[in-house]
Structure 1
Amino acid sequence: MTEHATPQQHDSDDRLQLLIEITRDLDMDLDKLLSQILNRLKTVMPGADIGVVYLYDNLQEALIPRSCLGYDQQAMRNLKLFAGESISGRVFQQGIARITQSREEVEQSGGSLNTENERHYRKAIGDRTITSNICAPLTIGEQTTIGTITLSSTHSPFVPKDLDLLTAIAGRISQTIYQSRLVEELRQSEARYRTLVEDLPVGISETSPTGLPLYFNPQALAINGYSPDEINQINVQDLYVHPQDREHLVKSLNAKGHYSYEHQLRRKDGRLIWVRGSTQAVKNATGEIVRYLGIQEDITQERQIGAIRRAVERLRREIWTMRSERDIAQVLVAMRQVMETQEIPFTDCGINVIDDSTAPPTVRFHSMSPEGQWLQTSGHKGASRVLRFWREGHTVYRPDLQTDDPHNEQEAIHPLLPKPVRSVADIPFTYGTLAFNSVTPNAFSPEHIAFMEELSSVLDECFRRLEDLKLIDAKEEQLRIAQKMEAVGHLAGGIAHDFNNLNTVIIGNLTYLLNDLNEDDPRHEDALDAYKAAKRCSTLVEQLLAFSARKVSTPQKIGINATVRELHKMLRRLIGEDVELENDLDPKAGTIYIDRSQLEQVLLNMALNARDAMPDGGKLLVRTRPLDLGDNIFRKLAELTAGHYALIEVTDTGTGMDENTRSRIFDPFFTTKEFGKGTGLGLATAYGIIKQAGGTIDVTSTPGEGTSFLIYLPTQQGQTPHAPIEDQQNKAHGEETILVVEDEPGVLKLAKRMLERNGFTAIEAASPLEAIALVNHYPYTIDLLLTDVVMPDMSGPELVKQLKPLHPEMQVVYMSAYASERFSGEIDQDALLRKPFSEGTITVKVRQTLDMAHS
């Protein structure tokens, strides 16, 4: 009778067979092994329709699915389980196998998933529901857990023997997984190391003690110019230009074990290169050197750059003594020497200096022939070409003018040089271009051009230094003039104060006297002569104040062109018929902010000087144009800031001036006229007027050719002033009370008389202290204070501060012989009455001030 096996026996046999097969296949690829185990478990456990093997990743600090069964693979790849999450995370955390046999137990078996894991897990299982789980830890030794293996069922529960089988399988494969991962990590590490070595930007090599190549990375092969097959056919000793370099390296390695060096090698193509490297000796357990490990980099270009820098530094030291453009010859000599040390095959070199402050820009050519002859020209037919290269701002190299001459240069260059030029390079810099010519075609390599560009940067430094020197010289000249003007200005201020006080009394009383005398009275002519002399004295004082910037001016916005046109007839009469007068007025010249009468005075003075410089006749040109002055272009005008300006140019064709005369032209009391025919204040006055308006004057002159005065005035400065005071011959009347404070008795008496003649009540005080005492006891209202500015005990502004609290409604008018900078911030120009004044000017000023207060 034959016994038949029960289903339970078949099941046990299958499970035992599974363990045997797993044990047999442990040397299989890890991923293939895990996939096979999950599929075989499904055959012996029909309820196991879902399975996953998690392995712990130390970098991510999470369990990562390594092999899956029955899940959406893409969704599982995004899953990262942390310790304690779900049954797998709980088993990993505790190291104990677990079983859940109902849906409720499944939900209670582990911690809930985080939001992101929950989303990925739901997508992985779809709409299925897990009803039972078994999970076993993958453990190495007694304490190290490296992952978990989990089976899940959606229709029938697992039983304890299922968990026993899973635990047995986990025990069998844990060590295999661990070893497989070690091998895998080692392979990855080797791959990373090889990638690192292969991709390094320096050469890495390994050689035998006898010089046989064992390994060269791609960069080491590139440095030496060999392929992998070719490098194995040589001995590294053959790479050394100087055999003693290799001998010295070996001796140092034997003695110290390492060696750092810089020496020359010969590439496969025969080219010599410089390398910087370091070699380490590798020894075996007995201390014997078995191989050399080396690292090296190609420093040929670095050494070339170093040589260029040293050559450039030599040039920089040579040109440091350059003080002006006249010293360019010595710069060209030094540049030629530096070029020759670099073995650059050039024939001629030159510097083209561009001055774009002129219209059109000027090009000055400086060159040095091979024989050392210095050539200097200006304005030849190559100027437009140089300007084009300079504006384009990049190097222009023409390898062979004989075959390709796009700019028609041969016609321009050949007259300047003895031989036909073939190669030409123009390198622009801030102040012009640097030019190199050669009679050899294709003479300059990219390295040569790079060196030339380096030289152009040195020229930039050189010319920038020249600009700084010009700026310093201009500042020193400006300071010298300012100091002179300051000294004479103090003198002028004192003279003006005394003269104008005296003239106020003289002119005022002479005016009354002339009004009282009939014209047929013999004394009338004497009084009139005295009046005219006093007026001329006032004019001289005005000139003193104007050049020292102490004159009280009334600036306003005026059109430059309109002013020049209105002055044309007067200039025509002044300069005479033998001098041609021409205006060249740019419609865009704009408006400026200046006292109109002072600008007319400046132009009249320059026209008179021009007339005197053209005794045999000539031409006087008055030109206007707008200018936008930049920081670099007009640095020679050191006192001007960048901005919008108007230029008034007064040019004559007269005798001109030498440099010594030109440098002193604005000095006060300096004149080239015969004694008694000039005060020396004309141009000094003009300079002071223009400076006071925020501008400056420049002058260019060539003996025998003529002179140009260039007046620069800002077009966007200041505000439109109040309407000018009405005709000074008119008089104003009133009945208000005026307090007159003046330390000069004659002026005090005259001012009181003028006011009272026109209906005002005038009370007088000869000093500020007397005025304070008077006001403290004066019982009536004082409508206006008319006070001198400069007085012995107290200034006018200080007196106002004392009296204002006692009479807050009291208006103020200041009398001044000149505008002192000391009070420029305290006195409103509209409240200033200039001395000498007439009866009309004093009464109109008082009336206007009172009316403005009541309006």
Structure 2
Amino acid sequence: MARILIVDDEPDNLVSLQAILNTHLPDGQVLTASSGRQAIDLARDHLPDVILLDVFMPGMDGYEVCRRLKEDRATARIPVVMLTAVMTETRDKVRGLECGADAFLTKPVEQAELVAQVRVALRLKRAEDALLRDMATVEDQLVDRTRELRESERRLQGIMDNLSGAAYRWQVGTDGAYRLVFVSRGCLDLLGYEPEKVQGWEALEVFRLIHPDDRPLFVELSNRALGARVPGEVFCRMKAKSGDYRWVHNRFQGITGRDGRLTAVEGIILDASQMKEAERLIRWEVSVNRDLADLARTLVAEKDPETVGRKVVRAARDLTESELGMIVTVNPHTREQDQVYATENVLERCRLWSGGDLTVCRLGPGGDYEALCGHGLNTGEPFCTNDPPGHPLWKGLPQGHVDVRRFLSVPISLNGDVIGQLMLANPPRDYTDRELRVAGWLGDLFALAVHRHREELERRRLEDQLRQAQKMEALGTLAGGVAHDFNNILSAIIGYAELGLMDLPDRHPVRECLEEVIHSGKRARDVVRQILTFSRSRPAEREPVAIGPILKETLKFLRASLPSTIEIRKDLCDEDVLVRADPGEIHQILMNLGTNAAYAMRDTGGVLTVRLETTPSAPPSRDAPHVAPGPYVKLTVQDTGEGMLPEILERIFDPYFTTKPVGEGTGLGLAVVHGIVRSAGGCIEVESAPGRGAVFRIYLPRVEVPPAEVRSDPKRAVLRGQERVMVVDDEPALVQMVRTMLSRFGYRVDAVGSPEEVLQRLREDPGCCDVLLTDLTMPGMTGLALTEKALSIRGDLPVVLMTGFGDRVDEERLKRAGIHAVLGKPFTVNKLTEALRRALERDGR
């Protein structure tokens, strides 16, 4: 809606002009003012679109009002149409226009002219307002765009300043010359050159910064991309201000004019050092993994630990580019240095090396390894230093060690124990985690090779044990068969000798010979028992025995088998003390300890001392922490040999453990001694040290034999009888001897040739005999099987079982089988008749 202000000092004029405008401009709003001051106030307050201003008014004429309106910024753009009723000269119109009036009308004004002039003024006002609005909009847009442009420039400058590389622009002249017209601030960080100092450089000056080896490829790739008008890139090394070369990635794009001519080249140079380093590390990792795989395949086929150690050291030196390399192994139990595998230059330069002796890892007073070489062994952690002289442990290195500028150490662990360490020194650049990781891998390979070597040794040991066990099993089988036949022979020898003695008077010269035959037969019986005990074919038969005589007899046998350089001293002060043991086992204890002592003194000779004494108690030991209270017999076997190391001493009772060369020992001797002593309720102590010989103290419980257990006099009267005895054995000589022996003492003997014949006679006449005397092992049917069938015919038949085998039949099995007594071969006439009487008396006869 248009707003029109009419200014006139004549009320009639205000009314008439207002009426005209209301009629022709009904949508407009007409304001009136009767003075200049009022007009200015209304114009400021309402900002009309057109002002109709009378020229001549009292106080302030129209010229002054127009001037003031035009001077006021708020009202300056309002169109002013001046009205006058006086004849106006040209100068008056000029004055009005100079004051800012837009039109000049003379009263009386035609209505049509007035309305037309007002409408023109309104159109001008609207056009001007629209123009101003457009200008304001454009100005705002310009401001916004300017602000955005400045922000974009700021961001671009920030990006340029923060780029890891340098943006640039080459201007290409019409003559083809290149001139550097722009370089971002990144140039300073990338290459050290200040941008303002390199701007203006020619192409040749920049080209000289490229590494000579990279220039041909740079020229080729640049010309190819620019010639094809496509983006290009090239990797090359550029010389920094410091003089060092850095890898850069140059990406560029040629700019062409309308005529297609190359006018500029824009691009960016990025730092490619990390990428190239990453590529180098990838290639290095691939190479390391390939070398490690090749080394692992080589080590799998390698059996010799020394060769493995040297290959691992060389590989570690090469893969880490180190100058020196060494593996040192240690004993995890004693912590003493064991082996050293070093590269040749270590042995050449180290003044500590003295013809094969290189002690690297030294134990300090506190029990820790000394200096840098001991750090990894003490902590069990990988370790490196690129400033060894500045490290606190540097001062502990001994005089004469090799020059160490950088140092790396990784421990080598196996089954939770640190068994050594891999040490490297003096690469061309600092050690990093990569070298530590590679050294760790190589240490693991060495540990794996050691583990495989130990497993191989253990496998061989187990195979040797298996072969030995198989030999022992075969020996047991053989010993059992030999013992059966030999005992049959001995039974006949001893039996006939006893029969011969019975027929001779007391002073007959042959009597002494026959007694020696019997004594020798009994010794042969004991030898058979020892063989069976050793081969495990015969369980030990422990009974109260006097240990002194057994030791004396064994020492005679031992003396014959030892060299003359070994003196035997014996001190058997309590010969008659009794222990519950098997005589063969006592013999075996002393023989095994004696032969071991002799082996320890084989080169220098010495003294073997055997001492027997009693003691009120046995000391508790690790071997038997809860020994039973009471008196003991102490057997001491001492030598003056080479002695044993602590780690050897810990394992001497392990089965198949031996320090003797292959073929000279089975590792069973001391294990057997230990087993015998433990099973007899005793314990054993050992003391030894290198160069101080060894002392074995064996404690066996002392026994006091009740009267019932005292052995009867072998010359006592033989138990006579009149019962019928049926004898069956596959050895005719033995059957004849038993028949003769029993017949002499009143027994009626029926000798039968086979088990089948026994059963046949029992079927024909179950009461044909009072007792059955049968061998255990016979062809066709065993004694147990014969007993079972015989008892099925006659359930109350007493049975005595003879056995020349070492196998002891289980007592429960004997009871179930109906055996009344067992008679071991060889036997005397007293043993035979006692067994018969026990069987008959148990049956109630």
Q: TM-score range by the shorter chain?
A: 0.3 to 0.5
Who wins on radius of gyration, i.e. which is larger?
2
TM-score, scaled to structure 2:
0.46
